[in-house]
Amino acid sequence: MSRPDGKPLSAPERRTRVWDPPGDATESAAQLALPGMAEEVSGEWTWTDDGGEMEPADYVHATVMRGEVVQALAPRTGGVYVDATVGGGGHSEALLEADPSVRVIALDRDEDALEASRARLARFAPRVAFVHATFGSVADVLRELGVATVAGLCADLGVSSPQLDLPERGMSFRREGPIDMRMDRSSGETALELVGRLDERDLANVIFRYGDERRSRRIARSLKRAYGEHDLHTTLDLRRAIVRGVGPVRVGGVDPATRTFQALRIAVNQELDELEALLRALPGIVEEGGTAAVVSFHSLEDRLVKHAFLRGEAWAPLSKKPLVATEEETAQNVRARSAKLRAARRLPEGPGRPAR
């Protein structure tokens, strides 16, 4: 399945693709047209120009470990807190509700998230500042705002439900969309551009390192071939090329594309570099006695946070082991199952404290 002229999509062309089924074929039949799952259905594809706009009210993300994060930060009267990943605004809301004198600096690299959280937190308006920025640059953001240190910071890593679920974000292999995967659609390289730029070996390394995928070489070869043949246009094309490399076998019930999609998303958004930059900046921006709390969702992230909090001289971890979500929460929110919360208190100034 390819675009009518057979060329990859250019940036302005990255739009929602609409299925125009033949006769009585349904959209869900088209969605099932995945290798190893169902027969492809023939029909017409047209590209609409809606640009994937979403209304704030459509942004629904269930906040993970909301109570635990706020309890770890223990908001103090008059304290200024950074929510490094405001998303739909759940953690910020909990902080703002905890004490009427608390103020929050809310960061996100995704403008849709900022718009949604601005709407949700409108009632706290004078107490929240929204900033479109990556958390790796949090020290610069605070400097520009004229804030020396903050009483605490929380970060709820990874992607939000809307980012994962909206086809036009290109992060899901279950929904057809452009091969984008950027959390910030205003800048940076898309996943398709990344696949085109990296050579086969580097692509395999990305898939192995960030996806923990043993079959990375075969997948990289298949992706490069599909790219070279102008066969990669949508997320379903990407999944098809992955399946072509390794076969439609599900390992432990997991779709063969799962790990590669995760790896490409992490690479496109430089998620681990961002986290490392945040962890480096933290001791310089959290005041003595203040707290940093980070919720992570995979072992690569958790390892970095654990290392920073347990080994660094700057921190006293609130617990040696990470906190996990309650059974009640995981029963309601599948995403919470892999969440790990680590929190640490900033130790008093010492020789090891990095300068800002």
How far is residue 203 from each of residues 167, 191, 215, 219, 237, measured CA to CA in Å?
24, 11, 12, 9, 17
Residue 338 identity? S
How far is residue 276 from each of residues 73, 115, 133, 163, 350, measured CA to CA in Å?
21, 27, 16, 22, 21
Task: Verify binding: residue 130, ligand SAM, rule CB under 6 A.
Answer: no
Total number of residues that touch ligand SAM (CB under 6 A): 22
| Among 30, 95, 113, 308, contact with ligand SAM (rule: CB under 6 A) | 113
Radius of gyration, alpha carbons of the chain: 22
How far is residue 296 from each of residues 116, 247, 320, 323, 340, measured CA to CA in Å?
22, 31, 15, 11, 5
Contact call for residues 149 and 285 (beta carbons, < 8 A): yes
How far is residue 288 from each of residues 250, 282, 349, 350, measured CA to CA in Å?
49, 11, 7, 10
Binding segment for ligand SAM (CB under 6 A), chosen from 12-20, 35-43, 132-140, 196-204, is 132-140
Task: Verify binding: residue 88, ligand SAM, rule CB under 6 A.
Answer: yes
Task: Verify binding: residue 262, ligand SAM, rule CB under 6 A.
Answer: no
Smallest separation, CB 97 to ligand SAM (Å): 13
| Among 14, 17, 103, 109, contact with ligand SAM (rule: CB under 6 A) | 109
What is the Cα–Cα distance from 110 to 76, expressed in whole angstroms?
29
Task: Verify binding: residue 152, ligand SAM, rule CB under 6 A.
Answer: no
Task: Verify binding: residue 85, ligand SAM, rule CB under 6 A.
Answer: yes
Q: Which of residues 160-219 bind ligand SAM (CB under 6 A)?
A: 160, 183
| Among 16, 19, 30, 61, contact with ligand SAM (rule: CB under 6 A) | 61
Task: Verify binding: residue 96, ligand SAM, rule CB under 6 A.
Answer: no
Smallest separation, CB 66 to ligand SAM (Å): 7
| Among 135, 227, 261, 315, contact with ligand SAM (rule: CB under 6 A) | 135
| Among 63, 190, 260, 262, contact with ligand SAM (rule: CB under 6 A) | 63
- For the chain, where are the alpha helices, taking DSSP H only? 27-31, 66-73, 90-98, 111-120, 138-145, 161-165, 191-197, 200-211, 216-228, 235-246, 258-268, 271-285, 299-311, 327-332
Task: Verify binding: residue 90, ligand SAM, rule CB under 6 A.
Answer: yes
Choose between 204 and 339: whose C-beta lies nearer to ligand SAM: 339
| Interface with ligand SAM (CB under 6 A) | 61, 63, 85, 87-91, 107-110, 113, 134-136, 156, 158-160, 183, 274
